[in-house]
Structure 1
Amino acid sequence: MKTTLGWVALLIVTIAVQAVLLPLVFSKGVKPDIILIIVVASGLLAGKERAIGVGFFAGVLQDLASGNVFGLNTLSKMAIGYVAGLAERKVFKESILLPVLAIIIATLFNSAVMQALLFLLGYKVELGPMLTNQVLPSLGYNVLFCIPVHRLIYRITFGKRSQF
């Protein structure tokens, strides 16, 4: 019970920071997706069951905070949590390269899922400008933030400091 409340508190604080503070710091609407990083880290460190739950709750909060089409973030974050969770037993959890590679793949996958869902819902999707103006800068920010966030999730999951 204690860990569930910890995850809920972490996600609520993160959504508040991501929706209120990050737009003030980062320009042109491009900012790191800390929620995505948390979902990926929870999948890699705690497994697919935990990551699907975190992805669902985080996605719902992100959908509520963003005002976009409801359900897009929920579906993409759950899918990413599931895929990241599949690797949980196959990877060395304290590798410094793991969160970087995982967040690169997850950022591209998240963008692809979001754009595909928007396209299926009948929205106009322009891949070229979206890729160069939003996805690649966001990818750079996500890579910068992934190691500190991964360390935090490691500490929450295992209750100790990571070795990297």
Structure 2
Amino acid sequence: MKRFVIVIAEIFLCFLIQTTIFQWFSLARVAPNLLLILTATAGLTKGRREGLLTGFFCGLLIDLCYGYIVGLYALIFMTIGYLNGFCYRIFVKENMTIPLILVGLSDLVYFFLYYIFEYLLRGKLNIGFYFVHKGLPDLIYTVIISVFLYKLLNIINDKTEKKEEEEGF
């Protein structure tokens, strides 16, 4: 139960920081996607189920606040969390290479799925233009911020696991 409360608090905190503070520090009109980093980290560190559930709640929060179709972002983030959960077995806490690569790949999957649902289905076929002006800056900014957020999320996860072991769960 404590883990669930902590994950919900992480989701709300990342959402608030992403939509308020990081909007002031946007570069090339993009802000880092903290909820994507959180979803990818949950899938990588805790497995497919946790990644799927974290992605669902992250996406649902975005859908309820900004989306005009409820479920689109939830589907995208659930997919990302579930796919990152496949790398759970190769996860090593000390190695930063795999998480950074997975966050970058997750951002590419996010961009591609977002492009399909928001642009391609409306007949806007210039994916190169959208990738260069929206996808690439978002990818770079998100990967840079993920270095710091990933370490913070690992510290929180370690402390949570240590408390669960002490309490006998």
- Equivalent residue for 1:16? 16
- Equivalent residue for 2:139? 139
Cα pair 1:44 1:93 within 8 Å, conserved:
no
- Equivalent residue for 1:80? 80
Higher RCO by CA contacts (8 Å cutoff, separation 6 or greater)? 1
- Equivalent residue for 1:67? 67
Look at both structures and tell me which one has the larger radius of gyration over its CA atoms.
2
Range moving further from structure 2, 98-107 or 68-77:
68-77
- TM-score in terms of structure 1 length: 0.88
- Indicate how the Cα distance of structure 1 residues 124 and 24 shifts in structure 2: closer, same or farther if over 3 A, else same: farther
Cα pair 1:15 1:65 within 8 Å, conserved:
no
- Equivalent residue for 2:167? none
Q: 1:27: how far off?
A: 4.5
| Matched position secondary structure for 1:159 | helix
Q: RMSD in angstroms over aligned alpha carbons?
A: 1.8
Once residues 7 and 34 of structure 1 are traced to their aligned partners in structure 2, the CA distance between those partners, rounded to angstroms, is 13
- Mapping of residues 1-164 of structure 1, within 5 Å: 1-118=1-118, 122-125=121-124, 126-159=126-159
| Matched position secondary structure for 2:142 | helix
What is the number of residues matched between the two proteins? 159
Runs of 5+ in structure 1 lacking a partner? none
Once residues 6 and 118 of structure 2 are traced to their aligned partners in structure 1, the CA distance between those partners, rounded to angstroms, is 33
Runs of 5+ in structure 2 lacking a partner? 161-169
Cα pair 1:58 1:74 within 8 Å, conserved:
yes
Calculate percent identity across the aligned residue pairs. Answer: 26
| Matched position secondary structure for 1:69 | coil
Once residues 123 and 55 of structure 1 are traced to their aligned partners in structure 2, the CA distance between those partners, rounded to angstroms, is 26
- TM-score in terms of structure 2 length: 0.86
